[in-house]
């Protein structure tokens, strides 16, 4: 194993400080202009370290080649540059806590916020590690800039050590993964990999080949608008009808906060508008397609029931496919999964495969013909102010990348 700690720390701090939040309501690709700053930096850095075929596509993905030295499959490694829209990601101030002492971690910009090993037991395992967090007012963006740092560090190491036996490595940094638009239809052909991996997982040992299947839903509620002083028997309040839809849906069995393990959910993410018109956005998640279909049917049924109470209103429910459980394809050929598991064991890490209660770019890539399991980075508490990652966990992930390539080359 090589000592990658210093490089990984420097890269993560540099990347995390660059604003790159995605926006689901934007039609552009990437969805936000700010993502270009990190994409352009990565393109420049890949060129500087000697990567070949470095391009930034017109759909906003940076792709490059790390030449192989032995025959073997072309192996892709991917990470996404965007950060989640669910929490403030503007003005991230990453900080490094050297040699974590096992106590509570406080945050300079929010003194009431604490990260403790009692509440988060995985932190208790990181005694002596270098812990990276944000300052308390933003998420960190280790999801997935930890993955970006890991892949960049591995690529730089290989290019500086051409004597290391490995097949060709293809690198891709995508935008908009957090809003389900990270994999353009052209990416599989442009990547040119026989199989690939996303570095977008959590705890050390996680090698995941099963994800949620996902749909998105938009419910539009149009009422009848009139001056409230003249509203008797005329006004139809869209906000009231929207509230009925939300309150009619199950609250104790099918929401994210009431489900875990292999349970799916219906999650209201946005509710905007006023008395004349309301727009509700939902995400539907289940590990099985029949369960996903049932959740969509339930949402439509609730909308129809509320619409029946007020025929003057117009309520529509539009459901669109987002991604599908990558298990459906990977379970037919577990070669990339087994390769990663054996590479982890070679490093003394026992692999753990648990279903992802979410999705990755690998979900879409696998569905589109490029088998793509997901690998650990160490990141924890993602999408919120308590997000953190261990530099030493990231170093293990970097070693895993190199070990996979070494084994792929025979």
Query: Which residues make Cβ contacts (< 8 Å) with residue 299, sequence separation at least 6?
Result: 217, 219, 249, 266, 282, 284, 317, 319
Q: What is the distance between the alpha carbons of residues 46 and 55, in angstroms, rounded to a whole number?
A: 10
Q: What is the distance between the alpha carbons of residues 48 and 46, in angstroms, rounded to a whole number?
A: 5
Region for 334 from its dihedrals, namely left if φ exceeds 0, alpha if ψ lies in -120 to 50, beta otherwise: alpha
Query: What phi and psi, each to the nearest 5 degrees, are found at residue 294?
Result: -65, -35
Q: What is the distance between the alpha carbons of residues 199 and 360, in angstroms, rounded to a whole number?
A: 9
3 is catalytic: no
For the chain, how long is the longest CA-to-CA vector? Answer: 82
SS3 assignment, position 360: coil
SS3 assignment, position 2: coil
Annotated catalytic residue: which of 177, 208, 286, 387? 177
Note the Cα 6 to chain centre separation in Å.
25
Q: What is the distance between the alpha carbons of residues 228 and 249, in angstroms, rounded to a whole number?
A: 29
Per DSSP, 279 falls in state: E
Annotated catalytic residue: which of 7, 82, 176, 399? 82
Per residue, what are the HEC states of 188-247? HHHHCCCEEEEEEECCCCEEECCECEEEEEEEEEECECCCHHHCCCCCECHHHHHHHHHH
What residues form DSSP beta bridges with 268? 282
What residues form DSSP beta bridges with 320? 216
Q: What is the dihedral of CA 55, 169, 163, 72, to 10 degrees?
A: -140
Instruction: Sort 17 into a burial class: Cβ within 10 Å, 0-12 / 13-18 / 19+.
Output: middle
Per DSSP, 104 falls in state: P
Q: What is the distance between the alpha carbons of residues 180 and 323, in angstroms, rounded to a whole number?
A: 8
143 is catalytic: no
Which sign does the torsion angle of CA 403, 334, 80, 397 carry?
negative
Q: Which residues are catalytic?
A: 82, 177
């Amino acid at each position: 194993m090589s000592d990658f700690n210093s490089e990984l720390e420097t890269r993560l701090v540099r990347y995390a400080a660059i604003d790159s939040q995605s926006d689901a309501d934007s039609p552009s690709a990437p969805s936000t202009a700010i993502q270009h700053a990190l994409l352009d930096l990565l393109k420049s850095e890949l060129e500087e370290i000697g990567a070949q075929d470095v391009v930034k596509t017109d759909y906003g993905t940076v792709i490059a080649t790390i030449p192989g030295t032995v025959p073997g499959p072309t192996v892709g490694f991917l990470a996404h540059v965007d950060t989640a829209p669910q929490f403030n990601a503007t003005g991230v101030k990453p900080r490094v806590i050297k040699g974590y002492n096992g106590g509570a971690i406080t945050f300079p910009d929010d003194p009431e916020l604490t990260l403790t090993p009692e509440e988060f037991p995985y932190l208790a395992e990181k005694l002596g590690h270098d812990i990276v967090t944000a300052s308390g007012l933003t998420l960190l963006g280790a999801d997935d800039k930890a993955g970006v740092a890991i892949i960049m560090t591995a690529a730089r190491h290989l290019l500086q050590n051409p004597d290391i036996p490995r097949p060709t490595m293809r690198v891709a940094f995508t935008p908009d993964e957090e809003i389900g638009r990270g994999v353009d239809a052209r990416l599989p052909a442009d990547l040119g990999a026989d199989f690939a991996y996303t570095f977008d997982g959590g705890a050390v040992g996680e090698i995941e080949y099963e994800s949620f299947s996902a749909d998105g839903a938009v419910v539009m509620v149009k009422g009848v608008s009139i001056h409230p002083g003249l509203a008797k028997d005329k006004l139809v309040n869209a906000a009231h009808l929207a509230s009925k839809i939300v309150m009619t849906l199950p609250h104790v069995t099918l929401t994210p906060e009431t489900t875990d393990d292999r349970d799916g959910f219906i999650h209201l993410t946005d509710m905007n508008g006023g008395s004349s018109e309301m727009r509700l956005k939902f995400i539907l998640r289940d590990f099985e397609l029949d369960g996903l279909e049932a959740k969509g049917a339930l949402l439509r049924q609730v909308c129809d029931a509320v619409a029946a109470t007020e025929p003057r209103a117009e309520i529509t429910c539009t459901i669109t496919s987002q991604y599908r459980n990558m298990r459906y394809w990977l379970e037919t050929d577990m070669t990339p999964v087994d390769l990663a598991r054996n590479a982890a064991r070679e490093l003394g890490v026992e692999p753990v495969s648990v279903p992802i209660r979410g999705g990755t770019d690998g979900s879409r890539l696998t569905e589109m013909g490029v088998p793509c399991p997901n690998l650990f980075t160490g990141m924890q508490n993602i999408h919120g102010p308590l997000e953190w990652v261990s530099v030493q966990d990231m170093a293990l992930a970097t070693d895993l990348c190199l070990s996979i390539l070494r084994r792929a080359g025979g």
